[in-house]
């Protein structure tokens, strides 16, 4: 079945550091890819999405590029701030694949940023 | 703005007891979902519904029932709560079709502790 792999369970950085969170996917169809962010005490919220190969999604200084060749959608930010501390989830939806209209999430990456 | 409200926000239950988690959305969305969040597992889909009076099993439905009496309301029922069901539960909603399809709007979560 469809799946999402996030290799980093936790990431600890200092302010102004560069961030990369890796996300690879496996899907039988042509999925839409998402990044969600969850701040402490809140539910996850959409950061951005991408639906086509080479499409770049971006929001709040974060970005990721859909790469069908490497089946990846890595999250990057050039300079993190303490306020970026949160859990980040990569997810996919593959309407014509095994997951149908459902969203499949990765395990999440806890980002902690020190001032 | 989209709104998904969960109640209660936290609950302590006894093993073998019945627990009902409630969710109300004012988004006029067709789809509603119940996810469970656990460290190391991320967000996993328990049940979902795309129309009132109908529910579908997600990826981990065992030990849970769901009820969708109206478009706005979606409940998760644990008939015989067990220790392994201690987790944070999230309700979400989304539209059917269109460019916003599968953009989930989450509630703030319910923290359930089964003792």
pLDDT tens-digit map of A89-100 = 999 987 665 555
pLDDT tens-digit map of B51-82 = 999 999 999 999 999 999 999 999 999 999 99
- Contact at CB, A9 and B44, closer than 8 angstroms: no
HSE value, Cβ hemisphere, 13 Å, CA-based, for B8: 9
Strands A109-114, A10-14: pairing kind: parallel
Backbone angles phi, psi at B19, to 5 degrees: -130, 135
Q: Residue A4 — very low, low, confident or very high, per pLDDT cuts 50/70/90?
A: very high
Question: Is some CB atom of chain A closer than 8 A to the CB atom of B40?
Answer: yes
Which range among A27-36, A44-53, B94-103 shows the weakest confidence by mean pLDDT? B94-103
Q: Stretch B25-35: mean pLDDT, rounded?
A: 93
Q: Residue B101 — very low, low, confident or very high, per pLDDT cuts 50/70/90?
A: low
- Coil vs helix vs strand at B109: coil
Backbone angles phi, psi at A84, to 5 degrees: -80, -5
Which residues does residue A55 pair with via DSSP β-bridges, in sequence order? none
Say whether pLDDT at B83 is over 70: yes
Distance from CA of A105 to the nearest CA of B (A): 6
Please check whether residue A76 is in contact with residue A66, taking contact to mean a CB–CB distance below 8 angstroms: no
- Coil vs helix vs strand at A84: helix
Question: Is some CB atom of chain A closer than 8 A to the CB atom of B104?
Answer: yes
H/E run at residue A113: strand A109-114
CA distance A28 to A24: 14
Backbone angles phi, psi at B84, to 5 degrees: -70, -10
Chain B partners within 8 Å of A9 (Cβ) = 40
Q: Which among B4, B58, B102 is the nearest to A32, CB-wise?
A: B102
Backbone angles phi, psi at B104, to 5 degrees: -85, 140
CA distance A113 to B41: 23
Q: How many residues does chain B have?
A: 115
Instruction: Kindly give the residue spans of alpha helices, DSSP state H, lying in chain B.
Output: none
Q: Stretch B10-23: mean pLDDT, rounded?
A: 97
* Sequence-ordered strand ranges (E) for A51-106: 56-59, 62-65, 75-77, 86-93, 103-105
Strands B73-78, A103-105: pairing kind: unpaired
């Amino acid at each position: 079945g469809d799946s999402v792999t996030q290799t980093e369970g936790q990431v600890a950085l200092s302010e102004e550091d560069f961030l990369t969170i890796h996300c690879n996917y496996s899907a039988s169809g042509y999925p839409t890819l998402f990044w969600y962010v969850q701040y402490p005490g809140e539910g996850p919220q959409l950061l951005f999405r991408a639906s086509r190969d080479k499409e770049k999604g971006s929001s709040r200084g974060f970005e990721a590029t859909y790469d069908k060749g490497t089946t990846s959608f890595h999250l990057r930010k050039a300079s993190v701030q303490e306020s970026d501390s949160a859990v980040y989830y990569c997810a996919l939806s593959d309407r014509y694949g095994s997951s149908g209209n459902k969203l499949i999430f990765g395990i999440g990456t806890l980002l902690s940023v020190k001032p | 703005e989209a709104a998904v409200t969960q109640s209660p926000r936290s609950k302590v239950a006894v093993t073998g007891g019945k627990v009902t988690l409630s969710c109300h959305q004012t988004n006029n969305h067709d789809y509603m979902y119940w996810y469970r969040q656990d460290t190391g597992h991320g967000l996993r889909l328990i049940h979902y519904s795309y129309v009132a009076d109908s529910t579908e099993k997600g990826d981990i439905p065992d030990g849970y029932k769901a009820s969708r009496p109206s478009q706005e309301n979606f409940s998760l029922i644990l008939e015989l709560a067990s220790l392994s069901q201690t987790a944070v539960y999230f309700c979400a909603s989304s539209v059917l079709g269109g460019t916003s399809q599968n953009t989930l709007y989450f509630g703030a979560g319910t923290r359930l502790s089964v003792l």
